[in-house]
Structures are given as C-alpha cells and as structure tokens.
Structure 1
Amino acid sequence: MFKDIQKKLLLQYPLLWNTKFVPMVAIGILMHIIFFGLGYIDGTIDFSNKNNIDIISFSIMIGILSVIIIVILWLVAYFKNNALKSFYSKSKNSLFFEWMQIFVICVLLISFYIPFSIGKQLHQRSYYSLEETAKRCKTISTADIFIDGSFSDTEIDSLASGLIDSQGNKIAQTDANYANEQDIEANTIDSAVALRYKDHIIFNNKKYDQFSLLNRNTFEFSVISREQDSLNKIQVNNWLQNNNEGEIKKLMADYMSLIREHNLATNLNATKWFEITYKAPDFNEFLYIQPYLKEFETENSYQYNDYETAVAVPYGENKYSKYFVQQDILKDKYDIVADAHTDAFIEIEMILSFLYGAFGLSILIFSFRVTSGKSWLIAVVVTGVINVIYGIFTAIAGSSTMYFYLILTTILGILFYFFLIFFNKKSLQLSRIALNLLLWSFSAIIPIVYFLTMEANKPDYYRLDEYKYYESPFYEWLKDHVVEMVSLNFILSIIFLFILSKVIRNWRGIAEN
C-alpha cells in the first residue's frame, strides 16, 4: 500500500515523495498510540503497594532508541534524492514547505512522551471521580490528626523573645543586634532562631497544650484548597472541644473502611483507635500511632513527617506505641489520584520544549539539505571553536553576560555577512558556511536580547526593612512573561524562516555548479 502511495506522490507531489512524509507521519502516529498504551499501563495504582508498576524509565529509553534508529533510516532514504538537484520546484515556497514537512515529522517522533503522560494521567483519574476523590482525601486528611499529623507552630512569645518589654511596649530592632551586618540572609536566620514560642495554643478562648490533638495538622491534598483544609481542621477541633464523639467515631469508621478496602495492614479497629486517642478534655495524653510498616514503606514514607522530631520525646523512650496503620500508603496513593485530577494534561512549557526540540532538529536537517555536507561540517567546527573561545573570554572577564553579548554580536554579524555575500553574489563556499550558522542561530536573537534586558534591570540591592531585593515593575513584568516571549519567538522564527527560504531559493549557491 505504501509503495502505491509513494508512486502516486512521486508523479503528482514529488516533494511529499522525496521527504517520505506520508510513511513517516504514519510511523509517528503509531508511536504515539503505542506510548499512550504504555503510559496507561504505567498509570496503574496498586493501593496495597505490593505490586507497583513503574515502566517510565524503560519506556523513555526504548522511545529514545527507537527515535534514533527511525531518524537514521529516514535520513538515509531522504538524502538519496536531492530535490534541489533532481526536480527542484519552481514554487517560491517549495523550500519552506519542505522544511514544514521535516518539522512535522520531527515533532511526531520526539514528542512520544506527551501521549505517554496523557495515558498515565487518564488511567490515574479513572479510579475515582473528582467528587469521590475529594471525599476520600478529606477522610484521610482529617484522620491524620489522630494518627501522626505534624504539630503547628504556636504563637511567638514576644516577651521571651525580647520583642516587647514587661509593659507591653515594642522594643526597636536595630542593625546592632546582628553579628554580621554584611549578611542579611544570615541575620534573618539568626534572628528567627532567637525567637521563643509559646507552649500552648488558644482555640475558642480555651488553652490547650502545644502537643494536643487540637494543634495537629491535616495532610494537604491538591483536590482540597487551603481554605477548605483550614475549615476541615477547625471542624475537627470543634468536634473535640464540644465532645462530639459521634462525628469522631464516624470519621474513624470511614477511615478504617478505606484501610480494609485496599487491604492495608493495621492492628487497630475504630473502637480501639478512639479509645487510645480520644482523651478529653485536654487531648494531650493520646498514644502515637505508627503510620507505616517498614516492609511496605513507600519511597515517600518519610517526606510527610519527621517521625523523630515531630514531638519532644524523653531520652530513652519511643515516640510510637505498639499500634500501627499504613497511613503513609493511603497518603501516597491518593495524592497521586488527586494530582491526576488537578494537574493539566499538558503544560505549555512542555509543549514549547518539544516544539523547540523539533525546530532545532529540523533546522539541522534542513541546513544540511540546502547547503552541502562539507560546509555543514565546517560550520559545526566553527560553532564549537567560537563557543570555546567565548567561554574562555567570559571566564577571564568574570562577567556572566559577556558570553551572551559576544554570541549576539556574532549572530548579527553572520546575518549581515550572509546577505552581503548574497547581494554581491561572491564567495560561494563562505556563504554556505554562513548560511548554516545563520539557520542554526537566528532563533536565539530574541531570547538573548530578552535575557540581557532582564540582567540589565536585575535588582542589585536589598530593602533592609523587608529583607529582600527590590524589583522594579519592569523586571517583574519580564519575569512573568518569559513563556509569552518564548512562544512569540517561536512564531517569529517560523515567519523569518519563511522569508529566508525565499532568499535561499534565489541564492546562487543553491545550485551545485
């Protein structure tokens, strides 16, 4: 079938035939389908954490190797027949169309990770709806108060910290308090260490110990906003303060049903759990429940809480009781499902990275196509030499921006030199080298100018009263619009290449003789 299609293209659309566009697009689409399936498999979640599937590294390695092999075979077939020699089209836009075909092929080949990521996220979303996920995450999050939730910082004791005097008057903080006036960041840290915190909290006008249940935090999931998370914590604290045992028991029963549903280990039941943690009215004599089992830990078991320092434990005593529940696995697995619902399928930064990658690869192929292998290789050597020399100059000068100024000047010089040769129709071999260098570098002009503008407006002094750099509105605007700049640069690069392709078509050096 492909032979018949290629034969028809050869007779009617020789440019499509020469680039092998149809079979390469078919191969690219097939790769996307395969990697979508691999991503869907990789998105499998084992809530018991006993049979986890992780094929992302293997899939990416296979994808990279496949792309390398496919590109090599494609280029061998593509370079067999030089359209510029055999059947050079009279169309003014033929060169641009040829580059567009190369670009589309490159995009399809190198972007195999996108369908992999989408397939993985779709599978992770499919376990529970957004509403059900939020409901289950709320149960796991609030139950953490009764398992191993971290403790919140209490209020700063202003008197003990020397911020106010015994009369309640504020004590002025001067630079003399600091040991090293030159190091603002170190001063900030030192002053924070010197602060003293109260050993209690106040909730609804009642005092509780800093290590009571009412000062414990919930676990944050992305499907629960910070505002809702705070409300959930206040709700549980109200249950505790008002001795609403029914709601606490219901929460524990709902949590235990999740443990049983996912076949997770525990030596607790809801009744015993309530008995060892619900110690009204102060709620500071509860037993600490171990939230993990060493034989079934996840790689994130220790990131949720510092088990050794979360609470002061007398020397020689253990923090945890004999009771345990695999809370860390519930957190880890439902965190994955929650993130799958809240994360975008594709970030604009990822799209731009693949587009620029395909753009760069297509330009390398296109430049080889429109010049010659010899001039292409010479241009590679020249590029390497220029970068080494400029790197040495930059290191000697000790300036972080000199390299970019030198590169920008060189690119503009190459641009001027190529068009000077083009209009004068001289130095054929040098113009080919200049064309290669120009094609490889013109798209970097705007990003370099943007970066240098940011550096020129970069803040260079602290606001001592705020302990941070002062940033001008223009600098903040530049920082906030990097993605827009990169997107605009991509569009302008294509437009410039469209214009340049017409120049190349009329370039004397495009013919071999």
Structure 2
Amino acid sequence: MQKINQINQYLLERFPNIWNTRIVWMLLLGIAVHFIFFFIGFVSHASPGTLQHTRAIDDYFSTGLVFVHVIISVLMIVGWLIFMLKNNAFKNFYPSSGRKLFLEYLQYFVIIFVSTTFYFSYMTGFRLFINHQYDDEKMAKNIDVINRSVPFLSQDLESYTLENRLFPQEFSDYYCETDINKIEKDKKYFVYHNRVYQFFSLYKKTVTKKDKRGLFLYPEEEKKNKTALAYYKDDGDRKSRTYFFKKQVEDLSPYIKTSMPSYVNFSSVFYDIKNNPSTHIRKYRYENNISNLEDEDLLKNQQAFINEKTIKILGNKDSQELQKLMTDFLAISNEFRIANNLNSKDWSKMVYNPDKFEVRQFIKKYQTTLGEEYDPNKSPDGYYDGNETVAVIDSAVATTDNYLDENGEVKQDTISVKDFNPNWDKEVSPDNFFKNNISDYYYYTSDLQTLLENVDTIKNDDFFTDVIHLYIWISFALAMFIFSFRVTDLRSLLFSIISAGVIILVVTLFCVASFFIFKFNSSFFVFYTILVTGVIILLLPFISMGRFPKIISAIFMIISMIGFPILIWLIFGIINEHQTVDCRAEMYSTDNYNYTNCRGVLDDLGLTASYIMLILSFIFLYFYTGFIKKWKAFPE
C-alpha cells in the first residue's frame, strides 16, 4: 500500500491529469484481466470433444462467458468512476486547456476500451492453442488420410452407385444419364435393379443473349434439331449460360466390372483444406453453392482424385495396405476422440473383395441402443435434415427435351423398368439391401467433419476486424457520456437526453406531416431535414452562449458532441443515396435493370467509412474542447 501511495504522489506532483483519471491503475488491472481471459481461451478447448459441435468459435457467447465479461467490465468501470469522481479538476477551476481536456477524454476512451475488450484476449488464446495443437502441416496429412479412408466407411448406398464414378478420365468427361426415359435402348447401358445408367460424350454452347423477360435464349440449332440436353450452368454473375448437349453414347464396359454399388464408384471429397466439405458432383448445384464453371471443374477434379486413389488401393489387391490405411485413420479418429467401435482388422475384411469390391455391409453413422431401429436419415444428435432439393425446369429446356406434351403437361413415363431389367421386381431393392446389410459397427462422421470445420474456421476466421469496430464505437460513446458529465453536470446531461428525444420526435412528426400534407415521399427530404436540424443544433451553443442561460448552451453542447458522428454518417448517407439514384436513373434510361452494380461511397468504403467517421469525430472533439473552455468561463 505504501508503494501505491508513493506512485500516486509521484503522479499527482508531475502528471496531475494522469493521476486524476487513474489510467495507470486501470490499465494494469485491465491487462491482468486480459491475461486471465487469454488463459481461459487457451485451455477452454483442450479436449477435442469440445470442437465436435457446430460453430465452436461462438462458444464465448453460447457458454455464457460473455456474461462474466460484462459483469467484470461493469464492476471495473463503476469502481473506476467512484475513485475518479472524487476529484474533478475542471469543475474546481484548476488550470486546464483545451488540449488537456482532449487528452483527458482520450484517457477515458482507452480505459473503457481496455475494460471491455476481453473477448479478443480469449480468442487470441483460443487461436494460439488451435494453431499449436492442430498445426497446418499435421492437419494436411491427417485430412489426406481421412479423405482416402472415408470411401471405405460405406455409411450410405447412394455414394457407391455407378453415376458417381469419375476415374479413369472417361468417367469425368462423359455424362451419366440415369433418367430411364432418356436411355437409348439400342446402345450400351448398365442396370442395377430399377436403375439404368448410360454414358454420353458431350459438347457445349455458351449464350449471352437474353429475351425480353431476362431469360437466356436457347441455342436455335439444337432447338431445331431437338438435340438432347444433358444440363446447363450459369456463370456466377448470370452474364452467360453454358448448355451441355449429348453427342453420342460411349461404351465404358471395359472399366465396369459390376453395376452394383461398389467402392470403386466412390468420389466424394469428405473435407478439403479450404473448409469446404463436399458431396459428389451430381449434387454440386444445390449443396456446394458453386458460382461458376471453374469452381465446378475444381470440385470435379478433387472428386476424381479421391476416386483415383480409391481405385488404386483396391487395384493393388493388397489387404495389408488397406488395413494400414484404416489403422492410420482410426489412430487420427482416436486422437480427435471421434466415437466409433471400428477396428482395422474387421473393417478391412468387410471391404476387401478382390473380384468386384462390391459394398456388402454398411456402417452406422451413430450408435443405436438395444432394440432401436437404425434410421439413416437421422443425425447423431437426434434431428432430421428437413432440407429438400427442388429442381427448377427451364421452360425452353423442358420443351426441347420432351418433358412436356402439347398441352404443357408433364408426360407420364412411357418406358417400363422391365424393358431393361425383366426381373427387377424379384430382386432386393436398394433400400432393402441397405437395411438388410447394416452392421453393428458405427462411426460418427458428422463429429469428425464438424471438428475439421471448427479447426479451419478458428484458424482463418477474422474475429478481430468486424468486432473491434463495434468495441471502438462503444468505448467512444461511453467515454463521451462520462466526459460530458465531467465538463458539465448531471442536470445538463439528463436535460440533454430529454431534449434529444423531443427533437427526434418533432423531426419525425414534421416528416410524417409533410408526407400527408405536401406529399413529400422522398428519402432526400427526410435526409436533408435531419441534416438541417443537425447543423442548427451544432451552431446553437455558439449562438446561445452569453444570450441564454448557461444550461441551454450546455444541453446543445452535449447533444453536439454525442451526435456529431451521426451527422457525419448522415452526410455520407446522402452522398451514397445520390450516387445510387443517379446510377439507377442512368441504367433505366438504357433499359438496363441490373441495379446490383449501382454502388455508392458507403458500399465502396465498407468498414473504412466507419473509421473515417471515427477519426473525424476525434478531430471535431479536439477543436471543440476550446469552445468548452470558453463556455466554462461564462458565469452561471
């Protein structure tokens, strides 16, 4: 305690402003609390199990730690105010200057900022632990093993059917038709129960022209010749559409040993290093949000690579090599504490079938209790996926591809499954085949995927840039309230809050009345009304000082200091609105209705605009402190 008193005495004699604000002790206390939150962040996810739920990066808020943060911040700020308000140099007419007043405000800002930003220390500790425990080189090797091992988990049937295969190159280049009504019976096809597969080579045409409704035009030659369409793809900006047409049937029977579900058909990328869990190529339009053909090709290449690796290890017909891969995979799973009951020896026996490598048994995605029937559509947490994929049929495509009859109705199937497989009704259906061959083994793949996503998210997510912007403004506003109280008094601060509410109400009523009476229905009218009001409030302290009671100047002075950032934002907003309106008018005059390209200054600057407003607010306050000194010099 004696040492603290000596430091306080030293500060009082040499730096009275610093002594008065207690910034030294508040910074030391704040730094100590920041170290505590850093430590909590570092140890909070030491167990891999804590990373097996979605959005672990938000655990600071979901676990309630944020409430501890708020309580500590409130206690620190309240305690600081109690000690600081014991002495108010400005109110007691100690020698001061505008510069000292501004520096005092900056100290308030720094103290509040340090006392409210423990979130960043927690996240820094969290990220440091993840970077250390799951370093990039190690995770890249782990993900490679995982992607090469997942094909043998066989947790569903659909990933192993023939249309998924992408290796050799012919399977990637050709299109697999599965619609029974579009199969050419006189050409080579493959049958599995009630499913038919036929491979077509393709050619493509890209169009950029649209009709009056804004729909892409269908290629005239193909429309005239009724050329069969495989599929189409729009680019990310919808400036062009690429149609893929069928050229001819290709015979891939030299590569296909069986049309039954087989491990050689698996081509899904379980996880890639870019935090982009994937599914096979036929689902890319709905599940991967691919925006252009280049992204589609990238995904397809990744899937073909997995398919190639799977076929290669199976083609070696070495059960020991397969078992070694499974052993490595289970070692990673145990390190990540993924729930499973697999062992590499029995698992390899389930898979190893050197003739055709058909899928004979399936592994559960979660552990079932005694007597519980396994439901493949149920997630391990007990919830069902309610998302449904709805295919949208382009009218021009539908007509050309003979989906509709002359009345515009969808045609009924004109081809029977028995035309391709006469005994299909006597065979075990795919659904029953899956149910009949469920093993007692389980593996929680969803937990593994969630852990990998969380690791990548925590490593790469920018938790600082967007959130720091919020904390700066909170510190700015709280510091401004405290500063306003310090240079005036509680009565002036309360009256300024009431006055601000009355002004907002009057302006709102004026705008509403103008709309009903004068039919002013323009956003510019509202903007300029608020702007004029703000400028008047900004000038009133200068006009009223010496002419009206001192409290009148104090009220508008406080409103000016607190409301100046809003006035700056309003000016930016008016400029932004003028730019977008002018841009839309110009596009409308040229019959171009793509208004998404109309951007204003706020759109271009983004968060930079907020920081510009903050800097301007600090500059305004720096010069405004000179007026505060003059206001204080006037008699009550």
TM-score tier after normalising by the smaller chain length: 0.7 to 0.9
Q: Residue by residue, what CA displacement relative to the aligned partner does 1:58-81 show, whole Å, maximum 9, x if unpaired? A: 322112112112222222222222
Among candidates 561, 567, 575, match of residue 439 of structure 1: 561
- 1:244-263 alignment runs, 5 A limit: 244-245=316-317, 250-263=324-337
**Counterparts of 1:146 and 1:334 in 2: how far apart (Å)?**
19
Structure 1 match to 2:445: 327
The two structures have a TM-score, normalised by structure 2, of: 0.63
Contact 1:84 1:510 in 2 (8 A): no
The two structures have a TM-score, normalised by structure 1, of: 0.76
Of residues 276-285 and 131-140 in structure 1, the stretch that sits farther from structure 2 once superposed is 276-285
Structure 2 match to 1:268: 342
* Bigger Cα Rg: 2
Q: Residue by residue, what CA displacement relative to the aligned partner does 1:451-505 show, whole Å, maximum 9, x if unpaired? A: 3444441686999xxx994333644x64242111112222222112111112222
Structure 1 match to 2:573: 451
Once the two structures are TM-superposed, the CA of residue 436 in structure 1 deviates from its matched residue by: 0.7
Please give the secondary structure, in 1, of the residue aligned with 2:438: coil
Q: Note closer, same or farther for the CA distance 1:285–1:51 as it changes in structure 2 (3 Å cut).
A: closer
Of residues 149-158 and 333-342 in structure 1, the stretch that sits farther from structure 2 once superposed is 149-158
Once the two structures are TM-superposed, the CA of residue 427 in structure 1 deviates from its matched residue by: 4.3
Contact 1:401 1:452 in 2 (8 A): yes
Residues matched between the structures, number: 481
Q: Note closer, same or farther for the CA distance 1:441–1:278 as it changes in structure 2 (3 Å cut).
A: farther
**Counterparts of 1:215 and 1:305 in 2: how far apart (Å)?**
24
Once the two structures are TM-superposed, the CA of residue 113 in structure 1 deviates from its matched residue by: 1.1
- Tell me, yes or no, if structure 1 residue 218 matches structure 2 residue 269: yes
Among candidates 459, 468, 478, match of residue 351 of structure 1: 468
Once the two structures are TM-superposed, the CA of residue 360 in structure 1 deviates from its matched residue by: 0.9
Structure 1 match to 2:75: 69
- Tell me, yes or no, if structure 1 residue 126 matches structure 2 residue 196: no
Once the two structures are TM-superposed, the CA of residue 267 in structure 1 deviates from its matched residue by: 3.5
Contact 1:376 1:436 in 2 (8 A): yes
Among candidates 448, 454, 458, match of residue 336 of structure 1: 454
- Tell me, yes or no, if structure 1 residue 498 matches structure 2 residue 622: yes
Please give the secondary structure, in 2, of the residue aligned with 1:471: helix
Once the two structures are TM-superposed, the CA of residue 433 in structure 1 deviates from its matched residue by: 0.5
* Aligned Cα root-mean-square deviation (Å): 4.9
Once the two structures are TM-superposed, the CA of residue 95 in structure 1 deviates from its matched residue by: 0.6
Contact 1:40 1:122 in 2 (8 A): yes
> Which amino acid is the alignment partner of residue 239 of structure 1?
K
Structure 2 match to 1:15: 17
Contact 2:364 2:438 in 1 (8 A): yes
Structure 1 match to 2:488: 371
Once the two structures are TM-superposed, the CA of residue 204 in structure 1 deviates from its matched residue by: 13
**Counterparts of 2:176 and 2:522 in 1: how far apart (Å)?**
44
Please give the secondary structure, in 2, of the residue aligned with 1:95: helix
Contact 1:288 1:319 in 2 (8 A): no
Once the two structures are TM-superposed, the CA of residue 340 in structure 1 deviates from its matched residue by: 3.0
> Which amino acid is the alignment partner of residue 350 of structure 1?
V
Among candidates 32, 35, 38, match of residue 34 of structure 2: 32
Q: Residue by residue, what CA displacement relative to the aligned partner does 1:386-444 show, whole Å, maximum 9, x if unpaired? A: 3445556677858777765544333222112223335x665422111101101111012
Among candidates 472, 485, 488, match of residue 597 of structure 2: 472
**Counterparts of 2:512 and 2:148 in 1: how far apart (Å)?**
55
- Tell me, yes or no, if structure 1 residue 293 matches structure 2 residue 359: no
- 1:174-193 alignment runs, 5 A limit: none
Structure 2 match to 1:107: 113
Please give the secondary structure, in 2, of the residue aligned with 1:126: helix
Once the two structures are TM-superposed, the CA of residue 107 in structure 1 deviates from its matched residue by: 0.7
**Counterparts of 1:374 and 1:48 in 2: how far apart (Å)?**
51
Q: Unmatched 5+ residue regions in structure 1?
A: 163-167, 179-194
Q: Note closer, same or farther for the CA distance 1:96–1:65 as it changes in structure 2 (3 Å cut).
A: same
Q: Whose strand fraction is larger, Structure 1's or Structure 2's?
A: 2
Structure 2 match to 1:233: 303
Q: Unmatched 5+ residue regions in structure 2?
A: 165-174, 183-202, 216-243, 277-294, 370-377, 390-428, 516-520
Contact 1:33 1:115 in 2 (8 A): yes
**Counterparts of 1:241 and 1:316 in 2: how far apart (Å)?**
23
Q: Residue by residue, what CA displacement relative to the aligned partner does 1:58-116 show, whole Å, maximum 9, x if unpaired? A: 32211211211222222222222221132533444111111011111011111111111
> Which amino acid is the alignment partner of residue 128 of structure 2?
L
Structure 1 match to 2:396: none
Q: Note closer, same or farther for the CA distance 1:317–1:224 as it changes in structure 2 (3 Å cut).
A: closer
Please give the secondary structure, in 2, of the residue aligned with 1:289: strand
Once the two structures are TM-superposed, the CA of residue 5 in structure 1 deviates from its matched residue by: 1.7
**Counterparts of 1:201 and 1:107 in 2: how far apart (Å)?**
68
> Which amino acid is the alignment partner of residue 502 of structure 2?
V
**Counterparts of 1:42 and 1:474 in 2: how far apart (Å)?**
43
**Counterparts of 1:136 and 1:321 in 2: how far apart (Å)?**
28
Once the two structures are TM-superposed, the CA of residue 318 in structure 1 deviates from its matched residue by: 4.1
- Tell me, yes or no, if structure 1 residue 138 matches structure 2 residue 212: no
**Counterparts of 2:510 and 2:368 in 1: how far apart (Å)?**
55
**Counterparts of 1:132 and 1:413 in 2: how far apart (Å)?**
63
Q: Note closer, same or farther for the CA distance 1:395–1:233 as it changes in structure 2 (3 Å cut).
A: farther
Q: Note closer, same or farther for the CA distance 1:401–1:60 as it changes in structure 2 (3 Å cut).
A: farther
Among candidates 430, 434, 440, match of residue 552 of structure 2: 430
Q: Note closer, same or farther for the CA distance 1:173–1:91 as it changes in structure 2 (3 Å cut).
A: closer
Contact 1:201 1:209 in 2 (8 A): no
Q: Residue by residue, what CA displacement relative to the aligned partner does 1:120-150 show, whole Å, maximum 9, x if unpaired? A: 2212222132100121123224433443588
Among candidates 468, 488, 495, match of residue 612 of structure 2: 488
Contact 1:220 1:229 in 2 (8 A): no
> Which amino acid is the alignment partner of residue 470 of structure 2?
S
Contact 2:493 2:555 in 1 (8 A): yes
**Counterparts of 2:454 and 2:255 in 1: how far apart (Å)?**
38
Of residues 356-365 and 441-450 in structure 1, the stretch that sits farther from structure 2 once superposed is 441-450
Q: Note closer, same or farther for the CA distance 1:111–1:83 as it changes in structure 2 (3 Å cut).
A: same
